């Protein structure tokens, strides 16, 4: 049986790997090119940044096409990976179990979480490798009763050189990304096609027949969409199918402070976190804000200290057939971000970090919710309106914003979906 898997991130690579292992003829379609880490901007960008000649966030997309940026509103930038490995190659390697909204629909992914954690290998990054300011902020959070915990990571600390630029790709191979699952799929007979964006799905009599790539038809018995909350919704709408205007992104806002010689950049981002009802706080130097946010421009990266708020926001945003996205921050989101930022400031002040305290760029890179599961869908792992043979295996299935790292959730959803395919197709 021939299956086309669209996308190579955590969802697509997991699905392709599982289907290929079980005898399916798998063709993998990746819109982007082969991934290569970016480092050149780090040596030439400093002077240009200081005088404002780097422009806005679109500059990084031009210099580094795997990091695709979309300004969905005047004050919100969405980021996704368009390359082999999808957004996992631009991640910090955090492996937290994100389950917001799953219990309400009766979906328990515990077996999948456990299997993937064991397969990847999850560890904490050694505290002795944290910068002093990060240790001090952890202690401050503890004194404030925020119960900070080391972040479970898929990072080999022996290989990690603490460059701090995980989001630009890991040049040493210390951090896991979904290309490892992709390699497994290829070793089991799957074929990878890069620079192959899927335009639409071919459907006849409510049965999938294949996909269109660059105006060329590729036939298949099964199509698995794993192009993320934006890409999957775009393909569905271009195919005449009703993806939902339920896009969420896990909004990130980083509070920047100053501590001379802190060198927070010399460690992996987010080595610890505090978990709250609908957000987390974590030490983080936001690359977008450092390079492109004018109010951050006068502080060097060695002196910049940041704490991130990652918020589970209101699930409301639209993706269109042409790829355009409309999503903005709601008043309730702003209010909750302000509350969380005040907690971040308390942590930083207690740790000796001084002002000026300046918010960074509002951004989001966990893109989901556009094909949300409900209670009636859980047994089949697909919404009833999807035609026969068409499946979704990515974060689009998660109905709620998480406010947490989501790689593990994406892979777990894809593993459950792919095994359901094997059982039912």
pLDDT in tens, 152-201: 999 999 999 999 999 999 999 999 999 999 999 999 999 999 999 999 99
Predicted local confidence at residue 41, as pLDDT: 56
Which segments of 258-330 does DSSP mark as H helices, in order? Answer: 287-292
Determine whether 118 is exposed, middle or buried from the number of CB atoms within 10 Å of its CB (0-12, 13-18, 19+). Answer: exposed
Residues in the chain: 425
Mean pLDDT of 28-37: 97
Query: 119 Cβ partners below 8 Å, 6+ apart?
Result: none
Geometric angle at alpha carbon 331, from 103 and 286, rounded to 5°: 80
Instruction: Cite the beta strand spans of 90-242 per DSSP E.
Output: 149-150, 191-193, 198-204, 207-213, 216-219, 222-225
Predicted local confidence at residue 62, as pLDDT: 85
Chain centre distance of CA 141: 26
Which is more confident, 59 or 276?
Answer: 276
Predicted local confidence at residue 129, as pLDDT: 97
Mean pLDDT of 270-297: 93
52 pLDDT higher than 80: no
Structure tokens at 313: 């926001």
Q: Which H or E run contains 262?
A: none
Alpha-carbon distance of 392 to 380, in angstroms, equals 11
pLDDT in tens, 7-17: 999 999 999 99
Chain centre distance of CA 188: 26
Structure tokens at 2: 């021939």
pLDDT in tens, 312-345: 999 999 999 999 999 999 999 999 999 999 999 9
pLDDT in tens, 90-130: 999 999 999 999 999 999 999 999 999 999 999 999 999 99
206 pLDDT higher than 70: yes
33 pLDDT higher than 50: yes
For the chain, what is the mean pLDDT?
95
Residue with tokens 């890409």: 231
353 pLDDT higher than 80: yes
pLDDT band at 53 (very low <50, low <70, confident <90, very high): very low
């Amino acid at each position: 049986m021939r299956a086309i898997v669209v996308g190579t991130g955590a969802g697509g690579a997991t699905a392709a790997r599982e289907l290929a292992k079980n005898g399916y003829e798998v063709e993998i379609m990746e819109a982007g090119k082969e991934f290569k880490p970016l480092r050149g901007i780090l040596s030439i960008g400093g002077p240009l940044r200081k005088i404002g000649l780097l422009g806005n966030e679109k500059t990084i997309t031009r210099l580094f096409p795997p990091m695709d940026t979309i300004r969905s509103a005047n004050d919100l930038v969405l980021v996704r990976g368009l390359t082999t490995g999808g957004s996992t190659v631009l991640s910090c390697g955090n492996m937290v179990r994100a389950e917001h909204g799953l219990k309400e629909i009766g979906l328990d992914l515990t077996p999948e979480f456990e299997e993937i954690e064991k397969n990847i290998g999850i560890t904490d990054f050694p505290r002795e490798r944290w910068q002093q300011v990060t240790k001090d902020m952890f202690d401050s959070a503890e004194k404030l009763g925020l119960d900070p915990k080391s972040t479970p990571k898929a990072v080999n600390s022996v290989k990690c050189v603490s460059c701090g630029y995980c989001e630009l790709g890991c040049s040493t191979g210390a951090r896991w990304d979904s290309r490892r699952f992709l390699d497994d799929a290829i070793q089991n007979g799957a074929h990878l096609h890069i620079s192959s964006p899927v335009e639409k799905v071919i459907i006849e009599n409510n049965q999938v027949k294949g996909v269109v790539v660059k105006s060329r038809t590729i036939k298949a018995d099964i199509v698995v969409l794993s192009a993320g909350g934006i890409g999957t919704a775009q393909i569905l709408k271009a195919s005449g199918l009703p993806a939902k205007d339920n896009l969420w992104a896990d909004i990130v806002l980083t509070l920047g402070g100053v501590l001379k010689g802190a060198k927070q950049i010399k460690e992996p981002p987010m080595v610890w976190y505090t978990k709250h009802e609908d957000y987390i706080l974590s030490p983080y130097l936001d690359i977008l804000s450092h390079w492109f946010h004018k109010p951050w421009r006068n502080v060097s990266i060695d002196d910049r200290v940041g704490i991130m708020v990652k918020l589970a926001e209101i699930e409301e945003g639209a993706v269109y057939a042409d790829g355009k996205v409309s999503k903005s921050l709601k008043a309730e989101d702003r209010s909750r971000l302000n509350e969380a930022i005040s907690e971040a400031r308390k942590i930083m002040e207690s740790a000796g970090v001084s002002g000026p305290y300046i918010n960074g760029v509002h951004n989001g890179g966990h893109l989901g919710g556009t094909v949300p599961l409900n209670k009636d869908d859980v047994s089949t792992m697909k919404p009833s309106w999807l035609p026969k043979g068409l499946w979704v295996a990515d974060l689009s299935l998660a109905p709620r914003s998480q406010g947490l790292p989501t790689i593990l959730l994406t892979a777990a959803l894809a593993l459950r979906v792919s095994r359901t395919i094997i059982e039912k197709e």
